Chain A
Amino acid sequence: MNIFVLNCGSSSVKYKLFDMKQEQVLAEGRVERIGQDNAVITHQPAGREKVSKTMPILEHTTAIRECLNLLTHPEHGVLKSVDEIDAVGHRVVHGGESFSDSVLINERTKEILDSLASLAPLHNPANVTGIRAAEKIMPNVPQVAVFDTAFHSTIPPYAYLYAIPYSVYQRHKVRRYGFHGTSHKYVSQRAAELMGRPIEELKIVSCHLGNGASIAAVQNGQSVDTSMGFTPLEGLMMGTRSGDIDPGAVFYIMKQEKLSLHEIDSMLNKHSGLYGIAGVSDMRDIEKRVAEDDKLATMAYKMFEYRIRKYIGAYVAAMNGVDAIVFTAGIGENTPSLRTALCTNLSYLGIEIDEEKNKIRGEDVEISTPNSKVKVFVIPTDEELVIARDTARLV
């Protein structure tokens, strides 16, 4: 079975084609700058040379059509015809309370997805545009929506409700939803496999640390709490996002700086986090500056580590124990010094790490020592594979 996985943003499309027999990637690529004359398509057939071209692509249907042209191209393609695609899996950011699992797309699903646009105005409309575009090109191929929020639908109400008037939740569904669900699901399942134990008996803290970052408490294979909330702004300090902040401080800043809603929103989402403190948002730049003894970069690094540590501690408490901690995504996978700092500072949990293993990159690796009471893993995330698996399960 061939599954075509699509992740559509407002001006980009990422794709991966899987042969599900061996869960093997046949090809992957992306289209960037959709809407412009100089859109760029890159296509990587497995084991062959990467292809890249620049051309005008004004909307998503054309972008997806171009991806399919490359997948069936006589020289660069991996399929003889589009008919060899059995199903399409779409990443959809927000499923609200309507979707607690991935779903086969029909007219009713699309109506509900349209109604969820206000919960994720930057992401969901683009995801739905991708669904409609794929349907137009492949009308007889089943389509599946896989939600970032679905994995967290098992969080109990006492953890997902905010302590504000209950009527606000009833009227506007304001609650914790959580994000990065497919990633947390993948790495926690993979950690259980690596431990050789059923996930149903494990307590795992999953740390997805990228430019956007979140932590999830995964107990018995189910998410029981996560750091991102109603929006992806809550929780950890991130590349440009503030993470947790006293709402009272927000009102005070707005008053003092005479800021509009748009301005404070932009400040907290785009000008804060590592960037807000150190002036750079990329962890590699932060590390470089820390090595040069830059005071603010050092402060940003310490804040970043401290906040992750606090959340790990909170989730160990939430689950009354922990069997494994998993690091994934750009920073989680590629910053050994951060993992060392975190694990050293969590020694009360009986964590010990093997510094040699901690340096290994690009593969699943257990970095804790055999004596460590808590297993620590670095697992490169594979959200597309989760989408492909869910799609295969539903069609």
Chain B
Amino acid sequence: MDIRKVAVLGAGRLGRGIAECAASKGYDVVLFSQGAGGQDALRRIEKSLDRKLAKWAITESEKRLILGRISYTLDLKELSKADLLVEATIDHFYTKQELLRTADHLCRPEVVFISTTSTLRVSDLARGINRTDQLVGLHFIPPVPDVPVAELVRGSQTDDAAVEVAKQFAARLGKQVVEIQESPGLVNPRTLVALVNEAAYLIDEGVCDAYQAEQIIKDSWGMTQGPLEMADRLGLDLVLSWMEQLQDEFGPRYAPCPLIRRYVRERRLGVKTRLGFLAYTEDDALITEHNSKQEGKRED
């Protein structure tokens, strides 16, 4: 089947990123969200495109073309027109399963479902729907348009044809797909939370501050973005929930550092609240170490 219209469930950072990336590669995208802030999704995608425009990555006409391909709706009946469904909602089993069940009734039977879950098993999610063989796990890392790799997992009943559809979709989005075995946390979230947790302990023990840890890790390992900025951009509440789910699955080695719990309790959630491990401007830009060091130290 020729895929032209992609439905994206969830208008959080991941859903918006997938919508923007898919539209920039020529897909028509319908973005669904019933959560708070969903209405704001198109404006935030436009803001993201404006940032690209300011960096000369796209032209004014390309921006208009991309935005023109994305629509937003609350009406799930629109799902009947989709050729591919990408579920990108929060990693909560019952929420996801209920949404997938609804979509299962509304989408045409041949439509392949992609779930972006990172901590849940595709096989478990597939049990609640009729198209058990057509659900594929494809985990993107935000910012989706910029990260060139995605992790793919198949559930116990996923068939090869569905995997092929997901691979072709990811390839058109410019992603190299690495297929791994089904396991909660996959590669990226599991290794990232371990790194973030250890850095949090270093800060909590007073060995270094967040900016020092970030600089050492980032510059030593040749990263464009260090683990603490990554965590801040994902949201520390999300990182904490990943840790808790992985702790349930794998035991105490994923037990969150108390500092992360404290930050989440204080609503110090990262970019979305302007302060996490590091500090950010209104435009989501990282405030440099020099300007924010004092603030960081005071908070810590």
Contacts and interface: CB of A to CB of B under 8 A. Distances in A.
A271 B2 contact: no
> Interface residues of B toward A: which range?
under 10
Nearest to B62: A270
Contacts of B26: 35
B58 interface: yes
A267 B56 contact: yes
Interface in B42-97: 55-59
Contacts of A58: 2
A267 B57 CA distance: 7
Select the residue from B56, B57, B58, B59 with max chain A CB neighbours within 10 A: B56
Interface residues of A, number: 12
Nearest to A11: B26
A259 to B, nearest CB: 6
B2 A263 contact: no
A271 B53 CA distance: 10
Contacts of A259: 55-56
A266 interface: yes
Contacts of B146: 260
B55 A270 contact: no
Nearest to A56: B4
A246 interface: no
Contacts of A356: none
A179 B58 CA distance: 25
A386 to B, nearest CB: 31
A368 B250 CA distance: 84
A262 interface: yes
A270 B53 CA distance: 11
Nearest to A59: B2
Contacts of B55: 257, 259, 263
Nearest to B174: A262
A266 B56 CA distance: 6
Contacts of A267: 56
Contacts of A270: 56, 59
Contact of B59 (A260, A264, A271): A271
B57 A266 contact: yes
A231 to B, nearest CB: 17
Contacts of A35: 26
Contacts of B57: 260, 262-263, 266
Nearest to B57: A263
A116 B234 CA distance: 40
Contact of B58 (A257, A260, A264, A266): A266
Contacts of A264: 56
Contacts of B2: 58
A260 B55 CA distance: 9
B78 to A, nearest CB: 17
Interface string B125-167: 0000000000000000000001000000000000000000000
A142 to B, nearest CB: 31
A378 to B, nearest CB: 31
A4 B136 CA distance: 45
A35 to B, nearest CB: 6
A34 to B, nearest CB: 11
Q: Which 5 A-B pairs have the closest CB atoms?
A: A267-B56, A271-B56, A263-B57, A263-B55, A266-B57
Given A259-B56, A266-B56, 4 more contacts: A58-B2, A263-B57, A267-B56, A271-B56
Interface of B: 2, 26, 55-59, 146
Interface of A: 35, 58, 257, 259-260, 262-264, 266-267, 270-271
20 contacts: A58-B2, A257-B55, A259-B55, A259-B56, A260-B57, A260-B146, A262-B57, A263-B55, A263-B56, A263-B57, A264-B56, A266-B56, A266-B57, A266-B58, A266-B59, A267-B56, A270-B56, A270-B59, A271-B56, A271-B59
